[in-house]
């Protein structure tokens, strides 16, 4: 290959360098700003031939490769997932969770909504059997005890707690921070929605809340009562002594009319004494079922007491000896002579009796 051909090939390969060198070799233009000294060129090789590459060419911004872009997108997606996980955790922290608690750590509500003697809850045995067979389906609602650290106070679910205690199981519960007002509202509304309280239990629950200082509006909201219903509830609870109501029990089949009738019967002190005598009788204590116990008290008070029969009047003779007795029982006058009377006395009495009756009638007429 001739020298001329070699020169043409080199010129074709490195034409850009020649142009760069030509530009670099131009004289500086007048009034041009001074520039920093050029970085030393680097030497590379291409096709076995030395090539001088200016440093500024190497310092140009390099375009990101596809792999780097993909890594950046992956990191961005990971950051979004971390943020979503954080938000989910915060959401879960605010959601009420069902936990299991030892029944021994749970106290009853500060106001009772149940009536009955100890151990006489007629439906508790059935509830125990249901939980034993199927487990506790509905959690109870508790709040941290306001006075005792580490303990809880019941808003609703008292019977489920008793059933779990009998079975030796933990109680499934939701624990919520509640004020006294929030607690009684939850307690009343849950019982109302479940139709779980009888008339007399609701009446005494309302009375107890009023006695503790709750406003009537709060109590009416808790029990879903109208103003007139609230008034009747309080009237019954005030007329029926709590000891008598507890002895009878919830009486779920006895409605408002009969409880109000019993309240009327109990207004007198004598009636209360009679009711107290009834609930302590052996027959009452042996009676099973609160509805039947209500009937015993009601019938005892509603029974009309017959006035005692008057004692016979004695008729004394001149010597002071009893000669006859007059019995006025059943609205009639009956004369019984003690001794046998002489013959003819009956006829004499028969003749004189009309005169006696006429004389008596004249004595009863008003004078004047």
* pLDDT of 103: 95
| Confidence band, pLDDT 50/70/90 cuts, at residue 265 | very high
Q: How much is the average pLDDT of 223-233?
A: 91
Give the Cα separation of 3 and 113 in Å (integer): 117
Q: Which helix (H) or strand (E) holds 53?
A: strand 49-53
- Identify the DSSP state of 92: H
Helix axes 199-211, 256-265, angle to 10 degrees: 60
What would the DSSP string read from start to end of 246-266?
HHH---TT--HHHHHHHHHHT
When mean pLDDT is compared across 20-29, 191-200, 210-219, the lowest value belongs to 20-29
Do 244 and 213 meet the contact criterion of CB atoms below 8 Å apart? no
The distance from CA 300 to its chain's CA centroid, rounded to whole angstroms, is 36
CA distance 118 to 121: 8
Q: What is the pLDDT of residue 319?
A: 82
Average of per-residue pLDDT across 202-208? 92
The pLDDT tens digits for 37-82 are 454 554 444 444 444 545 555 455 555 556 656 665 566 666 777 7
Q: Are 279 and 297 in contact (CB under 8 A)?
A: yes
Instruction: Kindly report the backbone phi and psi dihedral angles of residue 310, in degrees, each rounded to the nearest multiple of 5, phi listed first.
Output: -70, 145
Domains and CATH numbers, the chain: 99-250 (3.90.1530.30), 308-339 (no CATH)
Do the Cβ atoms of 342 and 354 come closer than 8 Å? no
> Which residue intervals of the chain are DSSP H helices?
3-13, 15-24, 55-58, 66-94, 124-134, 158-167, 180-193, 199-211, 216-223, 227-239, 242-248, 256-265, 269-279, 282-285, 290-302, 345-364
CA atoms within 13 A on the CB side of 319: 3
Distance CA 110, CA 200 (A): 19
Whole-angstrom distance, CA of residue 138 vs CA of residue 116:
24
Q: How confident is the model over 347-362, as pLDDT tens digits? A: 888 888 888 888 888 8
Most distant CA pair in the chain, distance:
196
């Amino acid at each position: 290959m001739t020298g001329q051909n070699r020169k043409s090939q080199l010129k074709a390969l490195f034409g850009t360098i020649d142009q760069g060198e030509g530009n670099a070799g131009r004289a500086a233009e007048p009034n041009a700003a001074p520039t920093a000294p050029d970085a030393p060129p680097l030497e590379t090789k291409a096709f076995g031939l030395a090539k001088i590459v200016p440093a500024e060419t190497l310092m140009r911004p390099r375009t990101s490769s596809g792999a780097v872009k993909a890594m950046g997108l992956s990191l961005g997606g990971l950051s979004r997932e971390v943020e979503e996980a954080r938000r989910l955790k915060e959401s879960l922290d605010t959601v009420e969770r069902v936990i299991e608690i030892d029944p021994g750590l749970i106290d009853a509500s500060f106001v009772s909504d149940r009536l009955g003697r100890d151990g006489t809850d007629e439906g508790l045995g059935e509830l125990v059997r249901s939980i034993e067979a199927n487990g506790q389906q509905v959690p109870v609602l508790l709040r941290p005890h306001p006075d005792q650290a580490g303990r809880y106070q019941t808003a609703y679910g008292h019977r489920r707690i008793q059933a779990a205690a009998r079975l030796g199981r933990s109680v499934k519960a939701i624990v919520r921070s509640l004020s006294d007002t929030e607690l009684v509202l939850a307690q009343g509304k849950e019982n109302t929605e479940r139709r779980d309280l009888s008339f007399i239990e609701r009446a005494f629950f309302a009375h107890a809340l009023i006695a503790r200082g709750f406003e009537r509006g709060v109590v009416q909201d808790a029990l879903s009562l109208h103003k007139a219903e609230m008034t009747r509830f309080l009237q019954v609870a005030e007329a029926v002594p709590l000891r008598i109501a507890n002895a009878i029990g919830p009486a779920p089949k006895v409605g408002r009319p009969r409880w109000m009738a019993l309240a009327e019967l109990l207004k007198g002190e004598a009636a209360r004494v009679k009711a107290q005598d009834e609930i302590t009788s052996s027959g009452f204590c042996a009676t099973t079922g609160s509805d039947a116990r209500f009937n015993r008290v009601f019938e005892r008070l509603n029974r009309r007491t017959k006035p005692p029969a008057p004692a016979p009047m004695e008729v004394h003779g001149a010597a002071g000896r009893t000669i006859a007795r007059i019995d006025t029982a059943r609205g009639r006058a009956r004369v019984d002579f003690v001794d046998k009377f002489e013959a003819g006395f009956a006829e004499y009495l028969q003749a004189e009796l009309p005169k006696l009756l006429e004389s008596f009638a004249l004595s009863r007429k008003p004078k004047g």
